[in-house]
Amino acid sequence: MKELNYDVVVIGAGAAGLATAEVTASAGRSTLVIDRDDFAGGVLMQCIHNGFGLHHFKEELTGPEYAERLESAARNAGAEFLLQTTVMDFNLADNENKELLALSPEYGVMRITAKAVMLAMGCRERNRGNIGIPGRRPAGIFTAGLAQRLINMSGLLPGKSAVIIGSGDIGLIMARRLTWSGIPVKAVVEIRPFPSGLTRNIVQCLNDFNIPLYLGHTVSKINGADRVESVEISPLVDGVPDSSRSFTIECDTVLLSAGLIPENELSKRGGVTINMTTGGPLVDAWRMTNIPGVFAGGNVLHVHDLADYASDEAALAGRHILDYLNGKRPGREFPVAAGGNLRYVTPNEYIPGEKTQFFMRSLIVEDDAELIVSLDGQEIMRKKLRFVKPPEMLSVEVPGELTARGGQLSFALNGGGR
Amino acid sequence: MKEFDVAIIGAGVSGASVAWQLSKYRLKTALLEKCADVGFGVSKANSGIVHGGFHHSKSTLKARLELQGNLMFEQLQYQLDFPFKRNGILVVAFSEEEMETVRVLFRQGKANGVRNLELCGRDRLLQLEPKLSPDVVGGFYVPNGGTIEPYRYVFALVEGAKKGGVELFTNFKVAESEREGEYWQIKSADGETIRARYVVNAAGLYADEVSKIFGAEEFTITPRKGEEYLLDRHTQASVSKVIFPVPSKVSKGILVIPTVEGTIMIGPTAEMVQDKEDVGTSSDNLHRILTQVKHMISGISVNDVITSFAGMRPTMPGDDFYIDISGKAPHFIQVAGIQSPGLTASPAIGEYVKDLLKKDGLVLVEKDCPKTVLPEFKEIRHMTPEEIDAKFADDPAYAHVVCRCEKISEAEIVEAIRRGHTTLDGIKFYTRSGMGRCQGGFCTEKIIKIICRETGMSPEEVTKRGGESKIIVGELHRGEK
Amino acid sequence: MKRELICISCPIGCHIQAEMTAAGEVEVSGNRCPRGKAYALNELTDPKRMVTSVVACASKELPFVPVRSSAPVSMALIGELLDTLRALEVAPPLASGSVVLSDFKGSGVNIITTRSVKE
């Protein structure tokens, strides 16, 4: 059995994990990155479209380009990689030495000890059971990400004509990808009255190809015995499918793009406390979980709409991992709360007097909204936001001098008062 | 043309049990299955419960076979290695009226000869199952009830039967028959023909149609649909025993079932339908099931649901099993109407049918059988790190995790394929890959590649469950058209 | 005629109002950066899109290598470009950024790989 020992073990070699590894390895800390797949880069490697890197690299890149840059930076800084390697179990309790049990077809069972662990496992797609689409279970139903991997990495075509359920970004990107691969997309069906994906993707992935987007509609039935034959679509009236206005679209393929869930099964095994709203760990200003020395960042913490933000957050966690390894501790922290019209705010704690970047998601669609930051109920800051909608993450930096006295920090959205 | 002593039509749990029994004798037996793999009909959607023998009166054939079958599973597990656990059944009552029904069932169980039955008050129930709602009034405990992986059980029976010389024909849908002298000539929908002296009709939902094809008794199988929902193994509601409500006249009710592999299943509904292939699920039923089980176990949440499926119970008028020598067609044995508790009764059904064949003139000569027919196959999720490392030394595939949610190694996928399961569903039922919370989102592509590598199939030939259930319809162009 | 556009130059997605004046000038408002103005100009005259796809690759590690256009391609040409890419096959080793198709139809746009393939 192989025994390994590092300062930092990063679980997941995607947009988040690679960014953390670069930071910790650059500072001379021995760093190991573990990933289940045959290559580093995570889901970026199947995201062959452009739209990555503008924020992090100040240049527009495709997923694989973005990933390769992050990977080279981490490798050049001295990070080591174990690919095709799955972490099976965790023992995080010991503050000095976290113990991991991992498997790989190259080395067999490995016991790995580390002083700090970075959780960067990303997320998984919500599937048919999660969204409860009734009907039969023919072949031809794929999550959008699975279809993306089949086409972009293996050159395998999942069908001849498709309907996409949910208007998340991967679904929209796949609408264009399928069309360009000769598979017509007959409709995108979104249960909410507004799209889930970025506006630019509605424009360049649907409008460019005249693909109809049915907002406020649901797929009430999937038909077909062996393979999908058609789907029945119903408009929602007061939240209930109106079967009198149902219509049927013939297709042999259904793609699901109905949201992502942070993948925290390992975290839970290790005793990490999970935030019920985001599905990610509860973290403090350092992005440290309830277990000292265990950090989290990227989509495992909360689902980001841009890979760049996931990398930034994970790099920030990396800098605090260095603080942690150098014997520093965050000191007294105060709680952060999501107020009116916000689904969540992260991180969940802050350090008084320190400048902190907060990320949050709106519950409302609003032009000209205001974000109000309060400390123990007293307003300390206000920020105008031109467009607010749930699919696009909001962020705000709160200067340290405003929070120096401590207390509960809360964020709320004001719909402009109109 | 291939000639057999016996042809069994239908490789579900009944047909497979008959095949397993007959494999112990000097006979040439054929097992005919219309699907791409065995157990893909009624059996695959079974709730996987080894019932306790208290639901039905001993005056019925099904109760007698249930009681007998229940006792045979340890021996079978030893011989054939499938997941089975005698983890016990609780019937729970939430009112004094329901307690009255509990007492009736308790007395029926006693009269049937079920051992170790226990009437329980509230405290005893909560001690046995702390996840039960505190509103529970009382109930009874049946320690000899258990759970089983139904598809693995059918796979094991068929594999064991094959080791004993039974020949399996998949994708063999019986279409025509003709009596020629001593033999039945049986023709499949694809035109393949075999001959057999005796025929066992274990065709499940289609036993009525098969009976007609052989000119035997006329009867009608009506499907009664049951929807089930599978919960993430992290659910707050993970119970250790099967939880039954007090039953109604038509069904045993909506249950909370801890599967042998540690997940939780809730269901089934019971709804008479016309179409035998109508295996769709509906959101109304999901909500009905949730409401009913939450009443028993309050920790169950809709957010824990990872998938749903529906199955059919093949019901017949009279509500008992119909297992008999045909009075109309020669050397034809009917095994029809095998609904609940068919799985529990199946080991006994196998023996009963064997005895009927003997009564009908089939000569049975025992042969030497090995004590264990199928060697134990251990999955990495059940191994210690040291055990995995030892296996890895011979085969690195043991340390290659393909399905992250259920922790399935490549070695297990390859084992399933080598044992004849080459569809995605077949591999899923054998290994559990794709049964977890991502429902195949991450592993489907890898499994398709392993199937192609091991069998030489092209990706376009791989199916979900045979027939036209293809996953991949083509490939991107490679270079010049 | 005034057109409401949503800029796709970056993920922010600015809502832009663009209008062709009588003098043939394009007036643009609502953009946050110069790329927004350029986008609006293009949308009114010759709309262009980045093209990303895959090209067959004679490699053990990767059967198809991802590619992109070096600059946005006129929408009228995209169908033909995709057909051209389908007919290509490249061989490793390939560094990320290798040109697999240069100056497509005299547009000045190259098609380059976006992932390195060693063998």
pLDDT band at B481 (very low <50, low <70, confident <90, very high): very low
Tell me the pLDDT band of B334, cut-offs 50, 70 and 90. very high
Domain B380-461 -> CATH class: mainly alpha
Is a pLDDT exceeding 90 seen at residue A391? no
pLDDT digits (tens, 9 = 90+) for A95-110: 788 999 999 999 999 9
Residue A198 with chain C: CB contacts under 8 Å: 11, 13
Q: What is the pLDDT of residue A328?
A: 95
Q: So what's the pLDDT on residue B307?
A: 86
Are A139 and B463 a contacting pair at CB < 8 A?
yes
The percentage of residues in chain B with a pLDDT greater than 70, rounded to a whole number, is 99
Chain A residues touching B312 at Cβ < 8 A: none
- From the list B305, B405, B475, the residue facing A156 with the nearest CB is B475
In this structure, the answer to whether residues A243 and A135 fall within a common structural domain is yes
Q: Which of residues 305-324 of B touch A (CB under 8 A)?
A: 305-309
Could B441 and A265 be called an inter-chain contact, meaning their C-beta atoms sit closer than 8 Å? no
Query: Is the pLDDT reported for residue B251 higher than 80?
Result: no
Write out pLDDT tens, residues B394-437: 999 999 999 988 999 999 999 999 999 999 999 999 999 988 88
State how far the Cα of B385 lies from the Cα of A42, in Å rounded to an integer: 26
Q: How far is A161 from A176, CA to CA, in rounded Å?
A: 13
The pair of three-digit structure tokens given for residue C73, joined into one six-digit string? 């391609």
What pLDDT, in 10s, does the model give residues B364-378?
999 988 888 888 889
pLDDT of A417 over the 60 cut: no
d(CA B11, CA B206): 12
Q: What is the pLDDT of residues A186-199, one digit of tens each?
A: 999 999 998 888 88
**Chain A contact present for C29, CB below 8 A:** no
Kindly tell me the burial class for residue C65, based on how many C-beta atoms sit within 10 Å of its own C-beta (0-12, 13-18, 19 or more). Answer: buried
Asked whether the beta carbons of residue B392 and residue A225 sit closer than 8 angstroms, the reply is: no
To the nearest whole number, what is the mean pLDDT of chain A? 94
Taking the domains of chain C in order of start, what are their residue ranges? 2-45, 52-113
Report the half-sphere exposure of B394 (CA within 13 A, side-chain side): 5
- Report the CATH number at residue A139: 3.50.50.60
Among the candidates A239, A258, A277, a domain finishes at A258
- Structure tokens given for B90: 């609780």
- Range of the structural domain that residue A363 is part of: 335-414
Question: Distance between CA B59 and CA A64 in Å, rounded?
Answer: 69
Name the residue ranges covered by the structural domains of chain B.
Answer: 2-44+150-221+318-359, 87-145+222-314, 380-461
Q: Search chain A and give the residue with CA nearest C63.
A: A154
Which residues in chain A have their CB less than 8 angstroms from residue C74's CB? Answer: none
For chain A, the maximum distance between any two Cα atoms, rounded to a whole number of angstroms, is: 66
Apex A364 CA angle, A362 and A366, nearest 5: 105
Q: Which residues of chain B lie closer than 8 angstroms to C84, CB-CB? A: none
Which one of A199, A206, A384, A385 would you mutate to disrupt binding with C, by most C Cβ within 10 Å of its Cβ?
Answer: A199
- The three-state secondary structure class of A203 is helix
pTM of the model: 0.92
- A-chain residue closest to C54, CA distance: A152
CB of C8 within 8 Å of any CB in chain A? yes
Chain B residues whose CB is inside 8 A of the A135 CB are: 280-281
Determine the distance in angstroms separating the CA of A157 from the nearest CA of chain C, rounded to an integer: 13
Tell me if chain A has a CB within 8 Å of the CB of B388.
yes
B125-148: pLDDT as tens digits = 999 999 999 999 999 999 999 999
pLDDT in tens, A7-43: 999 999 999 999 999 999 999 999 999 999 999 999 9
Residue with tokens 């988040």: A16
Residue of chain B nearest C89, judged by CA positions: B479
**Same-domain status, A213 and A292:** no
Q: How far apart are CA B149 and CA A217, in angstroms?
A: 38
**CATH number for A348:** 2.60.40
Token pair of A140, please?
């031809």
- Check if C115 contacts A (Cβ < 8 Å): yes
Given A282, A302, A330, the domain boundary residue is: A330
Residue in chain A nearest B307 by alpha carbon: A129
CB B17 within 8 A of CB B166: no
* Phi and psi at residue B309, to the nearest 5°: -155, 165
Q: Please report, as a single letter, which amino acid is at residue C43.
A: E
Q: What is the predicted pLDDT for the residue at B360? A: 98
ipTM of the complex: 0.93
Residue A244: pLDDT over 90: yes
List, for residues B206-237, the tens digit of each pLDDT value: 999 999 999 999 999 999 999 999 998 888 88
Contacting residues of C for B477, CB less than 8 Å apart: 56, 86-87
Residue A393 predicted with pLDDT over 80: yes
Query: Least CB-CB distance to A48: which of C7, C54, C56?
Result: C54
Q: Is B452 helix (H, G, I), strand (E, B) or coil?
A: helix
Residue B479: pLDDT above 70?
no
User: B2-44+150-221+318-359 adopts what CATH topology?
Assistant: FAD/NAD(P)-binding domain (3.50.50)
Is B477 catalytic? The answer is no
pLDDT tens digits, B8-27: 999 999 999 999 999 999 99
pLDDT of residue A290 exceeding 70, the answer is yes
**Rounded-to-10 torsion of CA A86, A52, A172, A43:** -10
**Neighbouring chains of A at 3+ CB pairs within 8 Å?**
B, C
CATH superfamily of C52-113: CPE0013-like (3.10.530.10)
Catalytic residue among B51, B55, B56, B331: B51
Q: Which of A312, A330, A348 is the last residue of a domain?
A: A330
**Is there a single domain that holds both residue A205 and residue A89?**
no
| Reported confidence tier of residue A416, pLDDT bands at 50, 70, 90 | low
Measured between CB atoms, which of A50, A68, A155 is closest to C63?
A155
Report yes or no: B249 at the C interface, CB cutoff 8 Å: no
C-alpha dist (Å) from residue B8 to A8, B11, B166, B192, B221:
61, 8, 10, 16, 19
> pLDDT band for position B356 (50/70/90)?
very high
Indicate if A249 and A265 belong to the same structural domain: no
List pLDDT tens digits, range C19-35: 888 887 888 888 888 98
Q: How far apart are CA A289 and CA A272, in angstroms?
A: 7
Minimum CA–CA partner of C56 in chain B: B478
Model confidence band, residue A378 (pLDDT cutoffs 50, 70, 90): very high
CA angle, A299 then A302 then A305, to 5°: 70
Band (pLDDT 50/70/90 cuts) for residue A50 is very high
Which chain B residues touch A129 with a CB distance below 8 Å? 229-230, 305-308, 439
Q: Which of C54, C63, C87 sits opposite B481 (nearest CB)?
A: C87
Residue with the larger pLDDT of the pair A74 and B275? A74
- For chain A, the domain total comes to 3
User: pLDDT grade, residue A418 (50/70/90)?
Assistant: very low
Q: Is A362 helix (H, G, I), strand (E, B) or coil?
A: strand
In three state form, how does the secondary structure of B150-206 look? HHHHHHHHHHHHHHCCCEEECCCCEEEEEEECCEEEEEECCCCEEEEEEEEECCHHH
Q: Domain B87-145+222-314 has what CATH class? A: alpha beta
Looking at residue C11, its pLDDT comes to 64
Query: How far is A196 from chain B, CA to nearest CA, in Å?
Result: 20
Averaged pLDDT of chain B: 94
C5 confidence band (pLDDT: 50, 70, 90): confident
What pLDDT is attached to residue A31? 98
Read off the pLDDT of residues A143-164 as tens digits, 9 standing for 90 and up: 999 999 999 999 999 999 999 9
pLDDT digits over A270-282, tens only? Answer: 999 999 899 999 9
